[in-house]
Amino acid sequence: MAADGFFRIALGVEYKGSRYRGWQRQASGVATVQETLESALSKVANSPVSLHCAGRTDAGVHACGQVVHFDTQVERSMKAWVMGANINLPHDVSVSWAKAMPAHFHARFKAIARRYRYVIYNDQIRPAHLNEEITWNHRPLDVERMAEAAQYLVGVHDFSAFRAGQCQAKSPIKELHHLRVTRHGKMIVLDIRASAFLHHMVRNIAGVLMTIGAGERPVEWIKEVLESRIRRSGGVTAHPFGLYLVQVEYHDEFELPQRYIGPHFLTGFSELDG
């Protein structure tokens, strides 16, 4: 029980962010994932539902491993929360699981790591498929150079040079656990896991790595950018289209359901596992 008479429910959520102005609820008439999901859950509960999420994604950014929680006085089965929400949701938002949680669980503050994947379609010709679900880069990209450069960012660093000006995080110092760069046919995947992320951090890293991969800057340039602690030294921010929140990790005590690491169209690549 979250409090006297209340239940705390956690949900696993996936969504295509293309037509939303990000996760966070905004002014009336602005489409957001939070407002869309709250509306669907409120119908299931027959009362207002207010959500807390593990990570607030930006406009155009997707998720296949978002975790949220809410408190309610209404008793429903976990299946009813999942199926009831999905019946009332549009095609681009889906609830994958529900679980009753103890009062001390919090989707954001109890998370110990977050993981994103940034998917690049690397070909001279613009793809007709997966529109706004991948980032197209027409320049031939050298994955080995990108992977080598990525290792300069692993560890604990001041990531000010990869931080958006409007970032509200209290500290730019974050621990990056891994940053893997792999090619799968025409697709290049950046797989990045950290304790937490700054605003636009993954997209700014992706922009620097693509510049290096295209041969426009040396591999060591990423170290210069990092050490400068100045955002304008790092070039352009990459598009949001190929960015996915794929996993949020918690301590084992919470026993949250585990699903594959997405997005869906990458699940056949076994070398991405781990």
What residues are labeled active site?
58
Could you give the dihedral angle defined by the CA atoms of residues 229, 234, 238 and 243, in that order, rounded to the nearest 10 degrees? -40
Closest residue by Cα to residue 67 from 255, 206, 241 = 255
Q: Amino acid identity, residue 175? A: E
Gyration radius of the chain over CA positions: 19
Q: What share of the chain is helix, strand, coil (3-state, %, to 5)?
A: 25, 30, 45
> Was 116 annotated as part of a binding site?
yes
The answer to whether 205 touches 192, Cβ cutoff 8 Å, is: yes
Q: Which residues have C-beta within 8 Å of that of residue 183, sequence separation ≥ 6?
A: 122, 143, 189
Give the annotated binding-site residues.
Answer: 116
Q: Known binding site for substrate: residues?
A: 116
